[in-house]
A and B are shown apart, each in its own frame.
Chain A
Amino acid sequence: MLGLQVTTLFSILVITAVIIIFLVFVNRKLTRFDPMDEPKGIVLLMMVAVQMIDGMVRDKTNDKVAKYLTPYILSVALYIFLANIAGLFSLDTPTSNYSVTLVLAAVTCVLIEVYSAKAKGSKAYIKGWFEPFAPFVVLNIFSKLSTLLSLSLRLFGNILSGGILMSVIYQMLASVSKMIPLIGDFNILGVMVAPVLHFYFDLFSGLMQAFIFITLSISFIGKELPKEE
C-alpha cells in the first residue's frame, strides 16, 4: 500500500512504455497528416482530446500559460487514466500506491507555486508567505500542504477503495459459488457479476478521477494568476 513493490514498478514501466509508443505512433501519423484532408481515426481522436483540454485550460488561465500547461495536463490525464484501468489488464494499479499519487500531486503543487511566483514577482511572492503578518507563516505552510495532501489522497483513496471492494466481492462470490455442485471450484458467479462492477470501479471511476485531478489542477493554477479583463 505504501512501499513500492516490484509488481507496481513493473506496471509503472509498462504504462510508461505504452504511453511513449502510443505518442510516437500518433506523432508519426500527425506529421504525415495533410491539413487539407478530413481528419479521421486516431488523428481525429487526438485533435478532439487536445482541443477539449486546451479549451479547459484557456477557460481558467491565459493564453501564455495555456501554451505550456496544456501538454502537462494532457499527459497527466493520459497517465492517470491508464494507471487507473491497469487492473483490467492484470497489472498492478500504480495509483493505489501512495508514492505514485504523492508524486503526481507534488508536481502540480510545484507548478502552482511556480506560476504564483511568476505572476506576483519574487518579492511579493515571498511576502505572500508572511501574510497577513509574520506568525501566519505556519498557517500558510499548512494550507499549502493541505492542497498536496487532499490532491494525492483523493486519487489514492478512490482507486484503493475500488480495488479492495473488488477483491472482497470476488472472495464472497467464490465462497457462494462453492455451494454449486459439480462446477463449484470454478468461480462462475464472479464471471457473471464482476464485469458490471469492473465497468463502474475501473473504467468509470478511473476516468472520473483523472478528470477531477486535472480539473482541480487547472483551477488551482488558474487561481494564482492575475485576472484578465
Chain B
Amino acid sequence: MEKALIAFAAALCVVAGCITGLMEGKVAITAVDNVGKNPDAADKIQSMAIIGAAISETCAIYCLLVAFLIIFILGA
C-alpha cells in the first residue's frame, strides 16, 4: 500500500511536464513562424528560442528531480 502511494506521488509530480511540453512546443512554433517572416534574423531567433526553451524546461526538470527523490529516498 505504501509503495503504491509512493509510486502515485512520483507519477503526480511528472504531470507538470505535460504543460511544459506544450509550451516548449509553442516556443518552437513561434520561432519557426518568425524565421519564415524574416529569414535574416534566423541566427538571433535561434539562440533566443534555445534559451527560452531551456529556461521553461527547468520547471519540468525540477518536477522530474522531485519524482526521483521521492522514488529513491522515500521508496528505498
Is this pair of chains taken from one and the same complex?
Answer: yes
B-facing residues in A128-179 (Cβ within 8 Å): 150, 153-154, 156-158, 160-161, 164
Q: Please, which residue of chain A has its CB at the minimum distance from the CB of B69?
A: A1
In Å, the complex CA distance between A212 and B57 comes to 11
- Residues from chain B with a CB closer than 8 A to the CB of A216 are 51, 54
Chain B nearest Cβ from A42, distance in angstroms: 27
Binds A, one of B3-11, B23-31, B34-42, B59-67: B59-67
Q: Are the CB atoms of A154 and B61 closer together than 8 Å? A: yes
In Å, the complex CA distance between A157 and B54 comes to 12
Q: Are the CB atoms of B65 and A211 closer together than 8 Å? A: no
How many positions in chain A have a CB within 8 Å of any CB in the partner chain? 16
Give the tally of cross-chain contacts (CB within 8 A). 35
Q: Please, which residue of chain B has its CB at the minimum distance from the CB of A209?
A: B54
- Residues from chain B with a CB closer than 8 A to the CB of A161 are 61, 64, 68
- Residues from chain A with a CB closer than 8 A to the CB of B72 are 1
In Å, the complex CA distance between A219 and B50 comes to 12
- Residues from chain B with a CB closer than 8 A to the CB of A212 are 50-51, 54
Q: Are the CB atoms of B61 and A157 closer together than 8 Å? A: yes
- Tell me whether A215 is interfacial, beta carbon within 8 Å: yes
Q: Which of B54, B57, B58, B65 has the most CB of A within 10 A?
A: B54
Chain B nearest Cβ from A128, distance in angstroms: 23
How many positions in chain B have a CB within 8 Å of any CB in the partner chain? 13
Q: Are the CB atoms of A153 and B51 closer together than 8 Å? A: no
In Å, the complex CA distance between A219 and B72 comes to 35
Q: Please, which residue of chain B has its CB at the minimum distance from the CB of A1?
A: B72
Q: Are the CB atoms of B68 and A160 closer together than 8 Å? A: yes
Q: Are the CB atoms of B51 and A158 closer together than 8 Å? A: no
Chain B nearest Cβ from A133, distance in angstroms: 28
Q: Are the CB atoms of B50 and A157 closer together than 8 Å? A: no
Q: Are the CB atoms of B58 and A150 closer together than 8 Å? A: yes
Q: Are the CB atoms of A215 and B47 closer together than 8 Å? A: yes
In Å, the complex CA distance between A13 and B64 comes to 29
A sample of 14 cross-chain residue pairs with beta-carbon separation below 8 angstroms, ordered by A number, consists of A1-B68, A1-B72, A150-B58, A153-B61, A153-B65, A157-B62, A158-B61, A161-B61, A161-B64, A161-B68, A164-B68, A212-B54, A216-B51, A219-B51
Nearest 6 A/B pairs, CB to CB: A157-B61, A212-B54, A150-B58, A157-B65, A161-B64, A157-B64
- Could you tell me which B residues sit within 8 Å of A by CB distance? 47, 50-51, 54-55, 57-58, 61-62, 64-65, 68, 72
- 18 extra interchain contacts, Cβ-Cβ under 8 A, other than A215-B51, A216-B51, A219-B51? A1-B68, A150-B55, A150-B58, A153-B58, A153-B61, A153-B62, A154-B54, A154-B57, A154-B61, A156-B65, A157-B61, A160-B68, A161-B61, A161-B68, A164-B68, A212-B51, A212-B54, A216-B54
